[in-house]
Structure 1
């Protein structure tokens, strides 16, 4: 090709196509000025005040703060179990009620809440039965999610035959079995001893990486929050406000339990602690 032809094929810089820019994914959770006030016989109780938060798809966001600060209340607003009295809240682009009716989320409570007269398999299958999923598909899904939480071989056991940690893993399988986009977890490991809790934290992190779900997680434990999360939301005493949001992505996605002894982990934990202290009122 002649030099003139080569020059003709080359676009001048001013006409070159710009590199495509990534379009940010729509947030799974978008709260703007979210507030909730209860009316009681003793007067109004302000549970949440002016909460602004956006959670992207695939994030693991933990909420930490003193007792009564509104952590669980915020989760219940997302689940449409409480109705905010101010502000806006969308879940997967729709209101909380529409998201609930669409079955957009699974909820794991503080206690396993398994029916003692149903086997583990039938407890996990309960949402699928309610939703009218055919029996063959129910069996397949139950087997898959019991395997995912490492409970294969316990399908025909009853809850009372399992340890507390195993019961909570069954609850997680039940919350995941209908494939929700969002997993809400309210202090699911709070009643367990530290060794079991460590083990379940590692399992939950592996499960999150494998399923790519968006997770909202309430805890009182600073190490648990930092270990599990992409971000930690630090909340003030009532009325619950967001004091700080701590980015934990520098820890990476693969996190052995030993990472808790590293300088970066300790630095992040200290920042969460300072946020809690800054918002806490202590009696002299």
Structure 2
């Protein structure tokens, strides 16, 4: 006859985090005095979470993302991405990265910009084009494959960047203020499209933003950071439903969550 202990012994172990950061610090050496960019960061990101990093300019949001992406090195602490080092994750192409600016080659068409990393990885040209077309369709750019970046709006260029980052099927998508330079109407539309994309594919997303409304609308978890040296002031799990629409921003629960984030940001300044 089975017992509670027997059942427990056969239970599945907890899933490892997609990203695990332990006691991580980043200190830059300068001519006069060291700059402490990050201080004692502890953070777990579960598989399939949409996590926003928010804080004032210079608080280390982008530095933390770059550490996870193996674009910066820690001065202390440990970082694991899918259970391996950031370098091993980068070599394994475990993540896609979308920068603040689209960073597209102006002499290459939309299709050629998206196929470039696939061809660098050795994928056959015909297959690379097929994969690129599929991902351009996912971000609503079917029919624009033959256009050049300078023929597109800023929002459309950023969608090309997202398609390129998704083209090699990364488990994690990292986005560094991808919509910060866009007008509010375009930003709202891309927020909605990104949320729908996350709904369909449930990739792990790490998203840097200065916007409280954007963080609240998109995220399942909001990480509030303090001014330099960057510390985590508060981690807020969103109570909002996973499926969202722009009208939700007028709901009392949205307003309450935005207020909680705003208070945490203020506490970070005073701490």
Aligning the two structures, in what range does the TM-score lie when normalised by the shorter sequence?
over 0.9
Corresponding position of 1:140: 130
- For the residues of structure 2 that align with 1:16 and 1:37, how far apart are their CA atoms? 47
Corresponding position of 1:263: 252
- How far residue 17 of structure 1 moved from its aligned partner, in angstroms, is 6.4
- Does residue 235 (structure 1) correspond to residue 222 (structure 2)? The answer is no
- For the residues of structure 2 that align with 1:15 and 1:208, how far apart are their CA atoms? 38
- What CA deviation, in whole Å up to 9, does each residue of 1:208-249 have, x standing for no partner? 11121100000000010010000000000000000001111x
Corresponding position of 1:278: 267
- What CA deviation, in whole Å up to 9, does each residue of 1:99-137 have, x standing for no partner? 111111110000000000000000011110110011221
Alignment of 1:10-159 (within 5 A): 18=7, 21=11, 23-159=13-149
Alignment of 1:121-270 (within 5 A): 121-248=111-238, 250-270=239-259
Bigger Rg, structure 1 or 2: 1
- For the residues of structure 2 that align with 1:143 and 1:136, how far apart are their CA atoms? 11
- For the residues of structure 2 that align with 1:24 and 1:145, how far apart are their CA atoms? 32
* Segments ≥4 residues shifted beyond 4 Å: 13-17, 19-22
- For the residues of structure 2 that align with 1:205 and 1:57, how far apart are their CA atoms? 16
- For the residues of structure 2 that align with 1:215 and 1:14, how far apart are their CA atoms? 40
3-state SS of paired residue (1:89): strand
Q: Which runs of 5+ in 1 are unaligned?
A: 1-10
- How far residue 22 of structure 1 moved from its aligned partner, in angstroms, is 5.1
- What CA deviation, in whole Å up to 9, does each residue of 1:124-152 have, x standing for no partner? 11110110011221111011100000000
3-state SS of paired residue (2:29): strand
- For the residues of structure 2 that align with 1:23 and 1:259, how far apart are their CA atoms? 36
Change (3 A) 1:15 1:256: closer
Q: Which runs of 5+ in 2 are unaligned?
A: none
- What CA deviation, in whole Å up to 9, does each residue of 1:27-47 have, x standing for no partner? 110000000000001210000
- How far residue 281 of structure 1 moved from its aligned partner, in angstroms, is 4.8
- How far residue 24 of structure 1 moved from its aligned partner, in angstroms, is 2.3
3-state SS of paired residue (2:35): strand
CA RMSD of aligned residues (A): 1.6
- How far residue 18 of structure 1 moved from its aligned partner, in angstroms, is 3.6
What TM-score do you get using the length of structure 2 for normalisation?
Answer: 0.96
What TM-score do you get using the length of structure 1 for normalisation?
Answer: 0.92
- For the residues of structure 2 that align with 1:26 and 1:15, how far apart are their CA atoms? 24
